[in-house]
A and B are shown apart, each in its own frame.
Chain A
Amino acid sequence: MIEILNVSKSFGNKKAVEDLSFNVIEGEILGFLGPNGAGKSTTMNIITGYLSATTGTAKIDGIDILENPIEAKRRIGFLPEIPPLYPEMTVKEFLGFIYDLKECRFPKEPHLREICEVVKIDDVYNRIIKNLSKGYRQRVGIAQALIGNPKVLIFDEPTIGLDPRQIIEIRNLIKMLGKEHTVILSTHILPEVQAVCDRIVVINQGKLVANEKTEDLILAVDGSRKLMAKIVGPEADVLKMLKSTSGIRYVESLGRRDTDSISYMIESEDKIDIRKTLFYNLSKNGWPLVGLEGMELNLEDIFIRLINKEKKGTEKKKRGAK
């Protein structure tokens, strides 16, 4: 549905995106991940035709965005990082304007009403955008993208700055939209991607770092696990025992966080489930294990690992070449 082929974009001397290629299949929700300044927004702006790539092509539904911009743009609904709203208009006027701008052919009023129901803004339909809260503005931004029922939806960090309840609502909304549309969702929040996306593309400094199915990516980097264990027992002895256990790479005492137990951060070796060993060893010593939970990998960890992996890969290649 969307083909990005060897796209590069430079701003003066700075390369924002470098030789990026990936595809998005019809009906897929693609998570587009990267740290701030990685080139996510630039890439999305190129796909939507707001910017032109220095080299390379972007095609929507087989139509080149540069060769036939009007036809390509007709197939895209875009929510930029900052929702593009005219503050002096009411929601109704604004959506009506977008409807005219996109030259839609559905009956106007029912179409707008339907979209407002989907994104839950029907209660502010007649209010002036200037007076709406951040969450509502974001939703008006999403509504704007949905007008004309485009095949492709592109959302640039749609949940940024929202409260947790709104984040969940927007996520569910995107999930629902993904049933009928092809979606690209950029974010730097990992759980968001895990919850919503089928596939993940990771970029860093404008370059592709990973392009995998969501589960594969998480497995690939989640080889070693971090656990937090709460153990009742003398701190020094417990630490000594844990350090000598095979399969544990790293242990750190986090101190006393409740009245009787001490918390430890335990990191296991790659692809080893340490939990059973841990339980048996502790019970042998008569130290009760009162709590054990997995610590979620965050995006930073994933990046560090992916980027390290890549470095190792290129070093190996270089050595091979020698």
Chain B
Amino acid sequence: MFAIYKRELKAYFLTPIGYIFCGIFLALSGISFSVTTLLAQSTNSLPFYFMIMIGIFAIIIPILTMRLFAEDRRGRTEQVLLTAPVSLTGIVMGKYLAALTVFTATLAVNSFNFVLLFQYGEPNAVNILANIFGLFLIGSAFIAIGIFLSSLTENQLIAVITSIGATMGLISLKFIADEIKFEFVRVIIKWFSVMDRYAPFTNELFDITSIVYFISLSAVFIFLTVRVYEKRRWS
């Protein structure tokens, strides 16, 4: 597992994908940050900034995950992975953790933006930390979804488009739920809605059910990816 983790991490920066991801992440985040806080000369719109970040993740995380399995399948390198003395879970986890590392590192670098705020005012540090933690959880769940969709195809373009569709879909569940009149259905949709699960973090709450929700979301899609490979061996 560690060998695969190391290789994938290296591959991000041997190919342009890693640089593209970090570049777009930091640029979009930087622009939104400047507009919502620095130019507005207020920290009141910070919640809005975090919402924009989730939207950005929905588009750029699929770029990070699209190649993970699709590339191996097209390049036939999956044969070397699947005939090596490593478990399927090890392969999937190695790739997942590599993407998670690139994402987390970029998120950490991005957090230096907030240091600027303390120069000009007294923002709520706990609130900011809770939000960053929430962003990390959402990102890790999106990565798992992206990996799963990448394992279904050998075409990276299909992987990235379906992943953007899936992440956008999860975000829009909130707005769909608001339109639904049946209480029962609405509760169920809200239960799955990423934005509703994110809400506690905006209120400085490290809500345990939300944490469990995001970790389960990742676990389910990692498990499904393993199953995809398990099944392909038999068919």
- Cα-based distance from A52 to B234 in the complex (angstroms): 5
CB distance from A315 to the nearest CB of B (A): 36
In the complex, what distance in Å separates the CA atom of A98 from the CA atom of B75?
Answer: 16
The reply to whether B83 and A48 form a contact with Cβ atoms under 8 Å apart is yes
Q: Which residues of B contact A (CB under 8 A)?
A: 2-4, 6-7, 10-11, 14-15, 75-87, 233-235
Contact of A88 with B15 in the complex, beta carbons under 8 Å: yes
Question: Which residues of chain A (50-67) have a CB below 8 Å from chain B?
Answer: 50-52, 54
Q: B233–A102 contact, CB under 8 A?
A: no
**A83, closest chain B residue (CB):** B76
Interfacial chain A residues near B76, Cβ < 8 Å = 80, 82, 84
CB < 8 Å: which of B78, B79, B80 contacts A98? B80
Q: Is A89 an interface residue (CB 8 A)?
A: yes
Per-residue CB contact flags for chain A residues 64-87 toward chain B (1 = under 8 Å, else 0) read: 000001110110101010101111
Beyond A80-B76, A84-B75, A101-B4, whether A93 also contacts B10 by CB under 8 A is yes
Q: Which residues of B contact A82 (CB under 8 A)?
A: 76
In the docked arrangement, what's the CA distance between A226 and B2, Å?
59
- Bound-complex Cα distance A85 to B78 (A): 10
Interface size bracket, A side: 20 to 34
A103 touches B10 (CB 8 A): no
How near does chain A come to B92, taking the closest CB pair, in angstroms? 14
| Complex interface residues of chain A between 141 and 186 (CB less than 8 A to chain B) | 144
Cross-chain contact A78 with B10 (CB below 8 angstroms): no
Quick one: closest B residue to A128, CB to CB?
A: B14
Q: Is A270 close to B, CB under 8 A?
A: no
Q: Is there contact, CB below 8 Å, between A86 and B75?
A: yes
With contacts A84-B76, A87-B75, A93-B10 taken as known, whether A102 is within 8 angstroms of B234 at the C-beta atoms is: no
Assuming the contacts A49-B82, A50-B233, A88-B11, asked whether A101 and B77 have C-beta atoms less than 8 A apart, the reply is: no
Least Cβ distance of B75 to chain A in Å? 7
Check: A97 CB closer than 8 A to any chain B CB: yes
- Whole-angstrom distance between the Cβ of B81 and the nearest chain A Cβ: 7
Q: Quick one: which of B4, B6, B83, B85 contacts A50, CB cutoff 8 A?
A: B83
Q: What are 26 A-B pairs with beta-carbon distances under 8 A?
A: A11-B235, A45-B79, A48-B83, A49-B82, A50-B79, A50-B83, A50-B233, A69-B85, A69-B87, A70-B86, A74-B85, A78-B79, A80-B76, A80-B80, A82-B76, A84-B79, A88-B11, A88-B15, A89-B10, A93-B10, A97-B7, A100-B3, A101-B3, A101-B80, A101-B81, A103-B3
Residue of B nearest to A94 (CB): B7
Whether A50 pairs with B82 at a CB distance below 8 angstroms is yes
Q: Which 9 A-B pairs have the closest CB atoms?
A: A100-B3, A84-B80, A101-B3, A73-B85, A74-B85, A48-B83, A84-B77, A88-B14, A52-B233
Q: Output the nearest chain B residue to A154 by Cβ-Cβ distance.
A: B83
Q: Is the interface of B mostly helix, strand, loop or mixed?
A: helix
Q: Which residues of A sit under 8 angstroms from B79, Cβ to Cβ?
A: 45, 50, 78, 80, 84
Known A-B contacts: A70-B87, A88-B15, A98-B80. Give 4 more (CB < 8 A): A54-B234, A73-B84, A89-B14, A102-B85
Residues of A within 8 A of B233 (CB): 50-52
B84: chain A residues within 8 A (beta carbon) = 73, 98, 101-102
- Quick one: which of B11, B14, B80 has the most chain A CB within 10 A? B80
A286 to B11, CA, bound (A): 76
Min CB gap A52→B, angstroms: 5
CA distance A86 to B4 in the complex (A): 12
For A86, what are the chain B residues with a Cβ–Cβ distance below 8 Å? 7, 11, 75, 77
> By the criterion CB–CB under 8 Å, are B3 and A78 in contact?
no
Q: How far is the CA of A76 from the CA of B85 in the complex (A)?
A: 9
Of all chain A residues, which has the CB nearest B233?
A: A52
Distance in Å: Cβ of A136 to nearest Cβ of chain B:
17
Closest to A85 in B: B77
Which of A100, A103, A144 is within 8 Å of B80, CB to CB?
A144
Smallest Cβ distance from B125 to chain A, in angstroms?
41
| Bound Cα distance from A37 to B201, whole angstroms | 58
Q: Are A101 and B83 in contact (CB under 8 A)?
A: no
- B81 / chain A contacts, CB cutoff of 8 Å: 101
Minimum CB–CB distance for B164 against chain A, Å? 25
Residues of A within 8 A of B82 (CB): 49-50
User: From A66, which residue of chain B is reached at the shortest CB distance?
Assistant: B233
Nearest A-chain residue to B86, judged by Cβ? A101
B206 → A minimal CB distance (Å): 37
Within the complex, which residue of B2, B75, B83, B234 is in contact with A49, where a contact is CB–CB below 8 Å? Answer: B83
